[in-house]
Amino acid sequence: MVQPDPWVVHKFGGSSVADAACFRKVAAILEAAPPGRLAVVLSACRGVTDALLRLVALAERQDPRVSAEIAQLRERHAGIADELLGVAGARQYKSAFDSDCRDVLEVLHSLRLPRSSPRSVSDLVSGYGEVWSTRLFQRFFAERARRAGPVAWLDARRVVVVEWGPLGPGVQWAESAVNIAAQVPPEFHGTLVITGFVAVDRRGIPTTLGRNGSDFSASIFAALLGASEIQIWTDVDGVLSADPRRVPDATVIDSLSYSEAMELAYFGA
């Protein structure tokens, strides 16, 4: 029996899917990858998670700007869709987006009753950014059709089960393994586009992996799929001496020991 090609997981953050040009760069990177099965984990488009959390804060205060803020998010994603997709694909994407916006408004309106923001509401609303970016990329990559095999979309909330504790979200591996087996047939040979950041708890209620949790998502799916490799892509040339957005003359650090990298990660680099 021929063994299927191993999975390779690619993760792209928000700055890598900030606009239509960025989506094209991501597609080109994946099309240049060696033949095999790809799992592509995406964050929300740059700034979208912050915008969604701002919506929750506005709704708590019953601020009338909620509708205008949602309209801006819709305009941004619709513009990218119009640039990347064919007419029919863009229309279908925008129709699904509009349905999501109605759902978001209903959830936000519910905050008027307790006048507070339960964590479940924030988690649900903030997770829409990854849904929107991955749906868009899945359609775009499928329409390009430059890589062999199907291009499927997977909502991580159908797979990843976590329970939050003092140290953050703990993956429930047994439940998650059952879910991935149900969602991804062993014979699937193509590209799987997956929402980063989001998960569910044991009750099936949407939650998240915490801010910047898409790297964690990529690692989780690599383990669940038995991947041979994870590639985490970014918009800088490597590990730098400082944040280049704040220090323009930051330089690339050519090499780091494992201990140095571990210490930097511990302190939030």
Instruction: For residue 108, give its domain range.
Output: 7-235
Amino acid at 228: S
Q: Which of 70-84, 88-102, 107-121 has the lowest mean pLDDT?
A: 107-121
For residue 251, tell me if it sits in a domain: no
- Four-residue CA torsion sign, 142, 148, 152, 153: negative
pLDDT interval class at 248 (50, 70, 90): confident
The pLDDT-based confidence of 216 (bands split at 50, 70, 90) is very high
- By residue count, the chain amounts to 269
Is a pLDDT exceeding 70 seen at residue 2?
Answer: no
Position 119 pLDDT exceeds 90: no
Characterize 30-69 residue by residue with b for buried, 16 or more Cβ atoms within 10 angstroms of its Cβ, and e for exposed: beeeeebbbbbbbbbbbebbebbbebbebbbeeeeebeeb
The token duo for 169 is: 């979200």
Does residue 264 fall inside a structural domain?
A: no
Confidence of residue 127 (pLDDT cuts 50, 70, 90): very high
Nearest alpha-carbon partner for 142 in 233, 27, 232, 8: 27
Compute the C-alpha angle 222/223/229, nearest 5°.
40
Look at the chain and report how many structural domains it folds into. Answer: 1
Question: In 3-state terms, the chain is what percent helix, strand and coil (to 5)?
Answer: 50, 15, 35
pLDDT tens profile 136-146: 999 999 999 99
Distance CA 188, CA 179 (A): 15
Two tokens at 124?
């649900």
Average pLDDT over residues 221-230: 98
Given a contact cutoff of 8 angstroms between Cβ atoms, the answer to whether 42 and 137 are in contact is yes
Q: What is the three-class DSSP state of 179?
A: helix
| Helix/strand/coil for 196 | coil
Pair 154, 194: CB distance under 8 Å:
yes
Distance CA 67, CA 58 (A): 10
Q: Tell me, yes or no, whether 254 lies in a domain.
A: no
What φ, ψ does residue 159 adopt, rounded to 5°? Answer: -125, -55
CATH code at position 116: 3.40.1160.10
CB 193 within 8 A of CB 42: yes
Q: The tokens of 261 are what?
A: 């990298």
Give a yes or no: residue 123 inside a domain.
yes
Please report the pLDDT score of residue 211 as a whole number.
84
Residue 248 lies in a domain: no
Residue 40 lies in a domain: yes
Q: Has residue 70 been placed in a domain?
A: yes
Find the range with the poorest average confidence among 27-36, 80-89, 207-216.
207-216
Q: Residue 1 pLDDT > 60, yes or no?
A: no
- The answer to whether position 29 is within a domain reads yes
Residue 40 backbone class (left: φ over 0; alpha: ψ -120 to 50; beta: rest): beta
